[in-house]
Amino acid sequence: MSKFKVAVIGGGTMGNGIAHVFALNGYNVVLVDVSEEALQRALATIEKNLRRQAKKGIIQEADIQAALNRITTFTSIEDAVKDVKLVVEAVPENKQLKLNIFKKLDQNAPVDAILASNTSSIPITELASATSRPAKVIGMHFMNPVPVMKLVEVIRAYQTDDETTKFVFETAKDLGKVPVEVNDYPGFISNRVLIPMINEAIYALWEGVAGVEEIDTVMKLGMNHPMGPLHLADFIGLDVVLAILEVLYEGFKQDKYAPCPLLVNMVRAGKLGIKTGEGFYVYNGKEKEVSPAFRK
């Protein structure tokens, strides 16, 4: 039995994962991206990830095609959102782009449709203000990789009403996720707590308190974190870590959020972590070793 229709805007890292979990859980999904190539890439990734889940016995073989059949693709928002109940926006982290998209969604989606953003750091309250339905705008912050990670941070804008929050909570639970309600302040909870910890680890490295592996080992073995903070920074992308710190620094105007100059330099040098092959570590396929810049 199929459920309500949901639109996912942007089929990149997060968007294809979001479309994947909705389709797998019986929702009809319209997936929107800027080009046919981007959409084909997204569908290929979804198929690959569904196959991996089937191989691991998490889903049945038959679920793969059933989920794929529930996804239709569009290159224009106008046509895609006409009859949806929920939209989840997952385009790149650029405020002006998201404001434009929220205006377009507001003009084209049914008046009672809920408009959610997967943003990591842009104020939901500001996105809500760009629409004529601010009470129906909310943050639905999935974690990467979406099919695996249980948490959905549900971010209430200043204007979000209870009905919208409840609807999104129930939807997240129906996807097998665990929703947590958070108010709209810089970094929400996830990034407000995580990113300053990573920044502190980078400061400790910069000040020579310990080396890359030592810092990561202390946090892994001492605190039971699955990944050390420097490895995690490479995984997230150092440019993304810096951008979120800047949001926290701007938002709170407190020195404790000031980005470490080493992080700023690494971003300037294009050493962004796994996606560029080098950050605190250098990556060669699945292997990693400490970057020559930090070897003793």
Q: Print the SS3 string covering 186-209.
A: CCCCHHHHHHHHHHHHHHHHHCCC
191 as an active site residue: the answer is: yes
Q: At closest approach, how far in Å is the CB of 41 from ligand NAI? A: 8
Q: At closest approach, how far in Å is the CB of 253 from ligand NAI? A: 22
120 as an active site residue: the answer is: yes
The type of residue at 40 is: Q
Q: Given 49, 108, 118, 141, which residue is catalytic?
A: 141
Position of minimal CB gap to ligand NAI: 12
20 as an active site residue: the answer is: no
**50 vs 101, which CB is nearer to ligand NAI?**
101
Calpha distance 93→116 (Å, rounded) = 14
Q: At closest approach, how far in Å is the CB of 239 from ligand NAI? A: 11
Per the listing, tokens 């080992």 go with: 217
Calpha distance 169→177 (Å, rounded) = 9
**118 vs 291, which CB is nearer to ligand NAI?**
118
Give residue 98's Cα distance to chain centre.
14
**34 vs 58, which CB is nearer to ligand NAI?**
34
Closest C-alpha to 115, from 100, 133, 99: 133
**11 vs 187, which CB is nearer to ligand NAI?**
11
Contact yes or no for 183/189 (Cβ under 8 A): no
**24 vs 127, which CB is nearer to ligand NAI?**
127
69 as an active site residue: the answer is: no
Q: At closest approach, how far in Å is the CB of 191 from ligand NAI? A: 9
For binding to ligand NAI (CB under 6 A), which residues are involved? 9-15, 32-34, 38, 90-93, 101, 118-120, 144
Cβ neighbours, 10 Å, residue 272: 21
Q: At closest approach, how far in Å is the CB of 209 from ligand NAI? A: 28
Q: Given 121, 191, 199, 291, which residue is catalytic?
A: 191
Half-sphere exposure of 23 (CA within 13 A, CB side): 28
Q: Given 28, 117, 153, 213, which residue is catalytic?
A: 153
Calpha distance 163→135 (Å, rounded) = 9
- Catalytic positions: 120, 141, 153, 191
